[in-house]
Structure 1
Amino acid sequence: MENTQNFSDELNENTINISQESSEVTTGGVNFTSILKKIRGGFFFVLGYMLSPLSWWNDLFFNLPVAYGFGYLCSLLNKDLLIPCAIAGYWLSNVAGILLMQAGVVDVFQNQPQERNLKKELLMGLASSTVYTLVILALIQLKILDTPDLFPGS
């Protein structure tokens, strides 16, 4: 009876191991799930870099059109919302860029699957973007960074 129980336990362990291994798509030692995750992570990283404040040239091609589009949509509700919502859209596009970069890096460099805390990642990205924005505002207020005069007659 004990041999039967041991055989049954061993069979259950083998069944669990086989089902865990079959959840990963592998062919010839190549793990396609891992490769697709790394490709997705790379895509998120590049898209995030395009939207993030880390690239100096992205504003003209990515962030400002996104910000203007967001401001324009808000101005359909009230015409006075164009500039404030464009500023908010610009900030949100930068936050989205940093969050996408963070998600991409985790997908590319994290080898073992771990439980991800989306709320914590979102709050960390939001906090780092806010700190970045406040540092830039402080540098502008202290006249360390110079900004162009957008409205010279005002």
Structure 2
Amino acid sequence: MRGGLVFGIGYMLSPLSWWNDLVFNLPVAYGFGYVVSRFAPETLIPCTIAGYWLSNVLGILMMQWGVLDVVQNQPQPRHLKRELLASLATSTVYTVVILALVQFNVLQLPELIADDGSINLRPLMSWLDSVWS
């Protein structure tokens, strides 16, 4: 039961649940960015991006822990350092692939950050309307 719950929460945080980013990952990432920006106000956007990446890493790691908890019949020694490095490598590769797809215009991103540094949600809302229609 515990492994299934850990896997489920990990799935919600992982990059595999792209559909749940607006509801789960982005609020977690923004919360992380907001807390850090209380100490250094200019870091809101970079720390939000870092929080999003970290939530994906945590999700992959939790999925691994959940599967191992369900599959293993006997408790075996855990290799936390190896599991963490594997998750970091997987998330880094995922991030690099997404950035490359954006750089080569395979993926189109809405213009969310205006010239004055404010966040413009109108393009995102238009895109969501087209998806749900």
Normalised by the size of structure 2, how large is the TM-score?
Answer: 0.82
Q: Is 1:114 the equivalent of 2:76?
A: yes
User: What are the within-5 Å matches in structure 2 for residues 24-35 of structure 1?
Assistant: none
In 2, Cα distance between the equivalents of 1:86 and 1:152? 16
Normalised by the size of structure 1, how large is the TM-score?
Answer: 0.71
In 2, Cα distance between the equivalents of 1:88 and 1:49? 19
Q: How many residues align?
A: 116
% same residue: 67
Q: Secondary structure at the match of 1:144?
A: coil
Residue equivalent to 1:14: none
Q: Which runs of 5+ in 1 are unaligned?
A: 1-38
Residue equivalent to 2:92: 130
Q: Is 1:63 the equivalent of 2:25?
A: yes
Q: Secondary structure at the match of 2:88?
A: helix
**What is the root-mean-square deviation in Å for CA atoms of aligned residues?**
1.3
> 1:109: how far off?
1.2
In 2, Cα distance between the equivalents of 1:138 and 1:104? 31
In 2, Cα distance between the equivalents of 1:76 and 1:151? 20
Q: Secondary structure at the match of 2:102?
A: helix
In 2, Cα distance between the equivalents of 1:77 and 1:48? 29
Residue equivalent to 2:61: 99
> 1:98: how far off?
0.5
Structure 1 outlier segments of 4+, above 4 Å: none
Residue equivalent to 1:77: 39
> 1:113: how far off?
2.8
Larger radius of gyration: 1
